[in-house]
Amino acid sequence: MAQHFLLSAASRTLSLRAIYKAGEQAAYETFCKMRWSETEGEAICPRCGCVETYSITTRRKFKCKACHHQFSVTSGTIFASRKMDFVDLLAAICIIVNASKGVSMVQLSRDLDCQYKTAFILAHKLREAMAAEVHTGEVLAGHVEIDGAYFGGHVRPENRKGGSEGPPPQGQPDWQAPRRRRSSRASGPHPSLRRQDGERRRCHRRRERGPHGHPLG
Ligand SMILES: [Zn+2]
Per-residue pLDDT at 125? 92
Where does the pLDDT of residue 191 fall: very low under 50, low under 70, confident under 90, or very high at 90 and above? low
Distance 37 CA to ligand 1 centre (A): 18
Taking only the tens place, the pLDDT of each residue in 15-38 is: 999 999 999 999 999 999 999 998
Taking each helix axis from N to C end, the angle separating 24-35 and 86-98, rounded to the nearest 10 degrees, works out to 70
Distance 51 CA to ligand 1 centre (A): 8
Taking only the tens place, the pLDDT of each residue in 38-97 is: 898 899 999 998 999 999 988 899 999 999 999 999 998 888 888 899 999 999 999 999
Distance 56 CA to ligand 1 centre (A): 15
30-43 b/e (C-beta count within 10 Å ≥ 16 → b): bbbeebeeeeebeb
Among residues 61, 9, 52, which one has the least CA distance to residue 32?
A: 61
- Counting residues of the chain whose pLDDT is more than 70, the rounded percentage is 74
Cα–Cα dist 57/136, whole Å: 33
Distance 79 CA to ligand 1 centre (A): 20
Cα–Cα dist 111/123, whole Å: 13
Ion ligand 1: residues, CB within 5 A, are 45, 47-48, 50, 64, 66-67, 69
User: How far is the CA of 153 from the CAs of 59, 149, 150, 173, in angstroms?
Assistant: 45, 12, 8, 17
Distance 68 CA to ligand 1 centre (A): 6
